[in-house]
Structure 1
């Protein structure tokens, strides 16, 4: 089994053997795969093909939505359609146009990724794309393990290991998805499996940065991102409201029980 996968599944044992796990995660898991030099390029080409197909579908959806607006407008003139139907068709057209713009932008981004992947095809003796990606995965996990195994970091940034914190919980979910994608891509991965693993590692990196930022904000070392203060306040209010409801429900149940007890006839 890949050592990183084992470390990810048994991360709660890390404080017992912190040094060994950290060294193993970096030093192991580097077995070479047969070929695979063009794997990243092939995955980028597959992404571009899918993005272009989506862009074509989006443009077709815009044409259909525009035709629907024209039809309903004509029927409205003939009093066979309502103003609400015409307004709804126009709203749908705006949504489809926004989707088409996003799809076109995604095609341009995928073209840039393909060019970068073409330029990054490794030399015959250089690490393969899958190995490079596994190294990036390892690096994120090692950064996380430091918060798990270093008592000083645990005291300074307790939110990093508090699963009740939304950013920490999201990191752990992303870590699970990355582990699953790594299993699927291990060995003889194809372009689709590599692309899924690449995206999972990217999500993991973003989730870790978000969790680390949130932990440092709670420690008073960084400024909250725009909107995060409002979200934290809303979450705290929701938690307090839930606790208040629970207390009120408990008090009501106790009052009802006391009332029933008073109404019960005395047994002689």
Structure 2
């Protein structure tokens, strides 16, 4: 072989080897991220984010308590008015509600993490992202039945009327779900999977609400989904009780250890 040609092409072999290595690593990364542990990794990501939000809101509550105490002291010294104190206390109550909501959300995310860990699919089972896409497609097909079936169009005209608030809300949720799905196709990470999962859940809720509204508009008697609000309230109260119980147990253990040392 021509020595000049060898000199000019000496870099091809290392370059091809590097390209093959990068390609294999990319396929392996995509396979692991889009594989059977994706839902579990997303649940862990959700817990981490919810824990940070709860920590931030706990700090905000401490600041609100300090501001309320300061406002009360300034009111006693006649440097602030009663309206200032009332405003500080209102902010304090809002921060307390925010913290309770964050704690309830953290508790729900932990439950989801336990469920995802228990439901980790086997090697031969469909991947979480594939199942989520199938769920998205099923919701879309359910909506399309109102668009393509003449009998459904006549029975429930509100489902195809974009002037109806419930229908418009569904269409907005559908656009957000499509965008979230596109993000997972570009890069399937725990964060994008979590966003896509939440978008699909919101899409299903909006479809249920639109169907409920359409049935009411058609004269049918449909039960209102008020049980969801009650369930959320129970969850919030349960999370608050668990937190108080944990704090009491920690305090009792600390007192017992101090007594033993003395």
State which of 15, 27, 31 in structure 2 corresponds to 1:34: 31
Aligned residues: 195
Matches within 5 A, 1:75-114: 75-114=74-113
**C-alpha displacement of 1:152:** 0.9
SS across alignment from 1:90 = helix
Matches within 5 A, 1:15-34: 34=31
Give the TM-score of the pair, scaled to structure 1: 0.70
Distance 1:153 1:206 in 2: 20
Q: Which runs of 4+ in 1 moved over 4 A?
A: none
Structure 2's unaligned 5+ residue stretches are 1-29, 227-262
Distance 2:186 2:52 in 1: 29
1:175-228 CA distances to partner (integer Å, 9 max, x unpaired)?
A: 11111110001154000000010010001000111111111111112247399x
Residue 72 (structure 2) aligns with: 73
Residue 182 (structure 2) aligns with: 183
Distance 2:48 2:157 in 1: 44
What is the alpha-carbon root mean square deviation over aligned residues? Answer: 1.6
SS across alignment from 2:121 = coil
SS across alignment from 1:213 = helix
SS across alignment from 1:183 = helix
Residue 138 (structure 1) aligns with: 137
**C-alpha displacement of 1:34:** 2.2
Matches within 5 A, 1:84-233: 84-186=83-185, 188-223=187-222, 225=224
Give the TM-score of the pair, scaled to structure 2: 0.72
Structure 1's unaligned 5+ residue stretches are 1-32, 228-268
Whether the 8 Å contact between 1:217 and 1:224 is mirrored in structure 2 is no
Distance 1:45 1:226 in 2: 30
Distance 2:54 2:192 in 1: 23
**C-alpha displacement of 1:76:** 1.3
Whether the 8 Å contact between 1:34 and 1:188 is mirrored in structure 2 is no
